[in-house]
Amino acid sequence: MAEPGATLLDRLAAVVGETHVLSAAADVAPFVADWRGNFRGKARAVVQPATTAEVSAVVSACAAHGAAIVPQGGNTGLCGGATPDATGDEIVVSLARMQRVRALDTANATITVEAGLPLAAVQDAAAGAGLFFPLSLASEGSCTIGGNLSTNAGGTAVLRFGNTRDLTLGLEAVLADGSVFAGLRGLRKDNTGYDVKQLFIGAEGTLGIVTAAVLKLFPMPRTRVTALAALASMADAVALLQHLKHALSDRLVGFEVMSDFSLALSRRHHPGSPELLPGHPWYALIQVDESAPDAPLQAAVEAALGEALQAGIVTDVAFAQSHEQARRLWSLRENISEAQRKEGPNVKHDISLPVSAIPAFMTECEAALMAAFPNARLVVFGHLGDGNLHYNLSAPEGVAAQAFMDNAHAVNRIVHDLVARHDGSFSAEHGVGQLKREDLVRYKGSVEVALMRAVKAAFDPRGLMNPGKVL
């Protein structure tokens, strides 16, 4: 127990133990900058509680001292949501020590895990019981389930299984006054008024600290077919998606689109990547899964893609012949983000649109950008099955990448205004954080923003939970 009149850090040390309160600059450094190195702040301390009771006591101590809290999971977020501000007053609460699997109920097909468990460990725990947790991101070795919930992460299987929100049945969270919202229910039906847990999903730590969740599990896929299709245009990619949905129904799990330039970047920075089907403007990486035994999946996918070839929607197709080849095809896609980071900064957008609007958006946006920034290079890839594109703009050949970033605001405005005109979203899966707060006010209606502010005030009247993020 800390003495009355003790400092905040003494109180925190009394809760979690001195070794789990980091305040030396070198210890704190990894927690105060984001993955891309775009945001950098300071923190009074980083605290690492190990249980929900400790999180509650940490939050109560911070509330008593009027100290603001920044929750942090794997720190892989891309909008600066987990980075403290520059004052050096904020306390980073890292969930890294909360990694227990609390329950695995095979009959209910659910797993109950603590917030700091890395996503890959959730997948492994499910697989150990012969079940499947479908959330999958390139950052899955580092990102945590608490971060996935707080950003409502999407990833590569949203087309079939939905995003993190769709995979969550129950949730436990510590509120700004230290009280615990105990909603760890594993129910698929529960119509008992407002569904409070939904508010924490996608809240980016602004309403409370998620400490645990009940997640849905699925039958393990028994057969998987992975294919790469070469395409002449984005319109053909949309047509192929529609065709495969009809032909394969919900066995179609992933449909990722990549421009030739985004693939070239991936290969340049990851030597030894597959060199399949060179020389086409667009590619779709397709994954089809079947959980039922003895289903002739390969034949069904070959037939569907054969029809697309005959109809001229697809120009060429290659199938992965082994798990290893499939893994290498996926790494081609998943390495694009890392390749962009190595290539130097570019102006990024994480947008979503109705799939039907994407071809028109692509034509109009490219024309508008090239008129304003001639010869700039588009790096476009993403989860086309979900209408989600990572639509990025790199400097023209010969122009320094860093200098081109002076145009970031003007580029964002062109892209996001056009997205809004097509009824899309300026943030499909990465959230708002510090990066897109202005966009939130610009593109959401005033009624929606007022409702969000009212929710924030109800949960966190003193504004101590991750201030300056989202709103």
Ligand X SMILES: Cc1cc2nc3c(=O)[nH]c(=O)nc-3n(C[C@H](O)[C@H](O)[C@H](O)COP(=O)(O)OP(=O)(O)OC[C@H]3O[C@@H](n4cnc5c(N)ncnc54)[C@H](O)[C@@H]3O)c2cc1C
Q: Answer yes or no whether residue 71 interacts with ligand X by CB under 6 A.
A: yes
In the complex, the smallest distance separating the C-beta of residue 440 from ligand X, rounded to whole angstroms, is 14
**Closer CB to ligand X, residue 307 or residue 338?**
338
**Closer CB to ligand X, residue 41 or residue 154?**
154
Stretch that binds ligand X, among 57-65, 134-142, 391-399, 438-446 (CB under 6 A): 134-142
Stretch that binds ligand X, among 68-76, 231-239, 316-324, 418-426 (CB under 6 A): 68-76
Binding mask 401-430 for ligand X (x = CB under 6 A): ----------------------------xx
Stretch that binds ligand X, among 121-129, 201-209, 273-281, 305-313 (CB under 6 A): 201-209
Binding mask 19-58 for ligand X (x = CB under 6 A): ----------------x-----------------------
Q: Answer yes or no whether residue 134 interacts with ligand X by CB under 6 A.
A: no
Stretch that binds ligand X, among 149-157, 281-289, 412-420, 438-446 (CB under 6 A): 149-157
Angle of CA points 244, 249, 254, to nearest 5°: 65
Of 305, 227, 230, which is closest to residue 260 (Cα–Cα)? 230
**Closer CB to ligand X, residue 81 or residue 183?**
81
Contact with ligand X (CB under 6 A) among 144, 262, 392, 434: 144
Number of residues counted as binding ligand X (CB under 6 A): 38
Q: Answer yes or no whether residue 262 interacts with ligand X by CB under 6 A.
A: no
What's the order of all strands across the beta sheet hosting 388-394? 316-319, 223-231, 282-290, 252-259, 377-383, 388-394, 350-352
**Closer CB to ligand X, residue 72 or residue 259?**
72
Stretch that binds ligand X, among 181-189, 204-212, 312-320, 365-373 (CB under 6 A): 204-212
Q: Answer yes or no whether residue 161 interacts with ligand X by CB under 6 A.
A: no
Binding mask 349-368 for ligand X (x = CB under 6 A): --------------------
Contact with ligand X (CB under 6 A) among 41, 134, 154, 467: 154
Contact with ligand X (CB under 6 A) among 12, 15, 21, 115: 115
Three-state SS sequence of the chain: CCCCCCCHHHHHHHHHCHHHEECCHHHHHHHCECCCCCCECCCCEEECCCCHHHHHHHHHHHHHCCCCEEEECCCCCCCCCCCCCCCCCCEEEECCCCCCEEEEECCCCEEEEECCCEHHHHHHHHHHCCEECCCCCCCCCCCEHHHHHHHCCCCCCHHHHCCHHHHEEEEEEECCCCCEEEECCCCCCCCCCCCCHHHHCCCCCCCCEEEEEEEECEECCCEEEEEEEEECCHHHHHHHHHHHHHHHHHHEEEEEEEEHHHHHHHHHHCCCCCCCCCCCCEEEEEEEEECCCCCCHHHHHHHHHHHHHHCCCCCEEEECCCHHHHHHHHHHHHHHHHHHHHHCCCECCEEECCHHHHHHHHHHHHHHHHHHCCCCEEEEEEEHHHCEEEEEEECCCCCCHHHHHHHHHHHHHHHHHHHHHCCCECECCCCCCCCCHHHHHHHCCHHHHHHHHHHHHHHCCCCCECCCCCC
Stretch that binds ligand X, among 65-73, 190-198, 232-240, 254-262 (CB under 6 A): 65-73
Stretch that binds ligand X, among 202-210, 221-229, 354-362, 406-414 (CB under 6 A): 202-210
Q: Which residues, numbered 423-462, are part of the site for ligand X (CB under 6 A)?
A: 429-430, 433
In the complex, the smallest distance separating the C-beta of residue 145 from ligand X, rounded to whole angstroms, is 8
Residue numbers at the binding site for ligand X (CB under 6 A): 35, 70-78, 81-82, 95, 115, 137-139, 143-144, 146-148, 150-151, 153-155, 204-205, 209-210, 337-338, 429-430, 433, 466, 469
